[in-house]
């Protein structure tokens, strides 16, 4: 089971949803970087939406001393609540829950994987990744590079997109501090009502999140296998709910001609090369153009719902029915926003370590 992402920075995740703890090791962070623990707590608390009982606060056991990175591997763990025993009546090791990785995990690991709350395949493992990205984000923000995200769509309710040309630090900070991170607050009410309407039916909904990165210098990244899109996409797809990603104009580009898709270059008043539009999403040939990097991510509905679903008993190979119960989150989109920003921060910092005089 590979839970290690290794580039200029190495991130390894350990633990399972019902083990005594989960955590992360981060290697190759630059030494001497000030880390504000309170800011990390604020960042990670955004994953607590609709689940305030969950513990997400990390305990750092190495890699930070007197609030500065030491250059040693940074190791942090998060204490889980008392592990729940696997009861025979639950049949968690037998029934493949629809939309979860129970069946594929059982096949891949010959039935020995921990099935409690999904084990190592649970979205709870996004929490230590979120910690790693929060640390990387502070290092980037100290150089003026900011990452922010907001909800574009919940089920059938849409909100506005970021301004792909003029996205600012203020835009990112303002939306990050909102209880329901949308651009038009009126749409937040509509989205919340839609979530409640679906919840009453025992169902769940997904959505679309847009992420933006500002002040990334031009020339960051590489072509072919080590492009910015490659790195961001690989880490984004480590998040269990992600089903798709698009950069810039994305799939809308298929409705455009070359003359309407191409972004005209110009030189601004400060002598910087920029583009009048940003259909390329801030990346050309895998390399940053200096424009805001803009991408959108599709998140599926929570597979845990109250409706009865058809499944199979993996031991007897017989068809069964399964119901998760009424205690579930009808929309997990909001709690994924800091996770998306976190993996993006890891990707960007990895590439920035090659930038001259960055550290």
Query: Taking a C-beta distance cutoff of 8 angstroms, is the pair 211, 149 a contact?
Result: yes
What are 139's two structure tokens?
Answer: 């290092």
| Strand 21-27 with 59-62, pairing | unpaired
- CATH numbers and ranges of domains, the chain: 4-352 (3.60.150.10)
Helix (H, G, I), strand (E, B) or coil at 120: helix
Secondary-structure percent of the chain, ordered helix, strand, coil, rounded to 5 = 30, 25, 45
Contacts of 20 (CB under 8 A, 6+ apart): 79, 80, 83
Query: Taking a C-beta distance cutoff of 8 angstroms, is the pair 342, 132 a contact?
Result: yes
Position 293 scores a pLDDT of 98
Contacts of 174 (CB under 8 A, 6+ apart): none
Position 324 scores a pLDDT of 77
Q: Residues of the chain whose pLDDT is less than 50?
A: 50, 52-53, 86-89
Position 138 scores a pLDDT of 98
Distance, CA of 191 to CA of 287 (rounded, Å): 36
């Amino acid at each position: 089971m590979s839970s290690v992402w290794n580039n200029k920075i190495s991130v390894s995740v350990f633990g399972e949803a019902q083990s005594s703890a989960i955590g992360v090791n981060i290697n190759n962070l630059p030494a001497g970087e000030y880390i504000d623990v309170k800011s990390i707590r604020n960042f990670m608390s955004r994953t607590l939406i609709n689940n305030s009982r969950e513990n997400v606060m990390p305990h750092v056991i190495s890699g930070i001393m007197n609030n500065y990175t030491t250059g040693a591997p940074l190791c942090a763990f998060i204490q889980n609540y008392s592990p729940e025993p696997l009861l025979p009546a639950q049949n968690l090791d037998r029934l493949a829950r629809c939309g979860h990785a129970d069946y594929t995990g059982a096949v891949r690991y010959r039935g020995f994987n921990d099935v409690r709350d999904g084990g190592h395949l649970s979205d709870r493992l996004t929490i230590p990744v979120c910690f790693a990205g929060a640390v990387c984000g502070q290092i980037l923000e100290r150089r003026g590079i900011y990452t922010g995200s907001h909800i574009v769509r919940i089920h059938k309710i849409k909100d506005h997109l970021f301004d792909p040309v003029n996205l600012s630090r203020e835009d990112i900070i303002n939306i990050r501090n909102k209880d329901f991170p949308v651009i038009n607050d009126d749409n937040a009410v509509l989205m919340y009502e839609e979530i409640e309407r679906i919840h009453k039916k025992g169902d769940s909904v997904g959505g679309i999140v847009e992420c933006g990165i500002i002040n990334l210098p031009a020339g960051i990244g590489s072509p072919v296998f080590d492009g910015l899109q490659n790195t961001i996409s690989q880490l984004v797809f480590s998040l269990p709910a992600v089903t798709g990603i698009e950069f810039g104009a994305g799939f809308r580009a298929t409705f455009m001609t070359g003359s309407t898709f191409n972004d005209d270059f110009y030189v601004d008043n400060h002598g910087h090369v920029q583009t009048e539009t940003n259909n390329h999403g801030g990346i050309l040939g895998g390399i940053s153009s200096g424009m805001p990097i803009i991408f959108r991510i599709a998140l599926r509905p929570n597979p845990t719902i109250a409706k009865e679903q058809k499944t199979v008993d993996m031991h007897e190979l017989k068809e069964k029915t399964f119901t998760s119960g009424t205690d579930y989150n009808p929309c997990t989109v909001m709690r994924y926003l800091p996770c998306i920003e976190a993996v993006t921060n890891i990707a960007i910092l990895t590439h920035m370590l090659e930038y001259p005089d960055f550290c």
